Amino acid sequence: MSLATRCPVCATAFRVQRAQLAARSGRVRCGKCGTVFDGIQGLVEEGTERLNLEPSPQLGLFDPRRATRNKGEADSVEAEALPPFLEDAPGPSMRQVVLWSLLALLAGLALAGQVAYRYRTEIAILAPGAKSALVAACHALRCQLSLPRRPELMSIDSSDLQADSRRDNVIVLNAVIRNRAPFPQDYPALELTLTDEADRPVLRRVLQPREYLDAARAPALAQGMAPASEASVRVFFDAGRARATGYRLYLFYPQ
């Protein structure tokens, strides 16, 4: 014996079998609007009113046209409900991914080149095996691979200033410069300042390495001071009419 049940949402009546109602404790889906309802509570008697019966409500679950229509309607409602900022943006194409990857690679190589150019001296010290490649690159780029200049690792161990007994107005500077670094360094410049009784400067002179190195050591200027080595300085120069009672001496690297 067949029974009829009515959807409480769209009021559509369907013919059902007892086995259908018993399968899921009476829960059925409307084949017209898709509403799930209690088919037992929705039972109606066919004799009390004229019913326009639809196929079994469970058939709607297997009707591809209804499933497609219901899914399309749900997607449409959901799409209309989403604000613009929550909508999915289209993903990048493979061509765009490859292009951006190449640009990122080129940018990384350019940055690495700038770092190598800026710190070429330090790289040559820390990685001696790379020195020949850096020299070749500098030759192509018309730059120079100079010796390190770390004034904090240079010191003046001793110095004194004396008048030359054989010549008037001539003074003699004696000093010892030490390279305390574990790598060779460029020879620094020396600044000598003569001062009066009030420690005011009366004469200042800057000595470049070629001026204070003797002739025997001048050819080795390009090799710099060896690691943990010292260099003796002895310079004669005319003080003119300056009358000095003291002096200051310090080393530096010109910019």
The domain segmentation of the chain, as residue ranges, is: 3-81, 94-141, 151-252
Per-residue pLDDT tens digits for 31-77 = 888 888 888 888 887 665 555 555 555 544 444 444 444 644 444 43
Mean pLDDT of the chain: 79
Instruction: Round to whole Å and give the CA distance between 30 and 91.
Output: 39
13 touches 44 (CB < 8 A): yes
Per-residue pLDDT tens digits for 131-157 = 778 778 887 777 777 788 899 999 999
pLDDT at residue 35, rounded to an integer: 86
Highest mean pLDDT among 32-46, 82-96, 98-112, 214-228 belongs to 98-112
Residue where the block lists tokens 């109606």: 44
Position 28 confidence tier, pLDDT thresholds 50, 70, 90? confident
Higher pLDDT, 103 or 124: 103
pTM: 0.49
Question: What is 151-252's CATH number?
Answer: 2.60.40
- Neighbouring residues of 179: CB distance < 8 A, sequence distance ≥ 6: 153, 154, 185, 225, 226, 227, 228, 229, 230, 231
Give burial (CB, 10 Å; 0-12/13-18/19+) of 194. buried
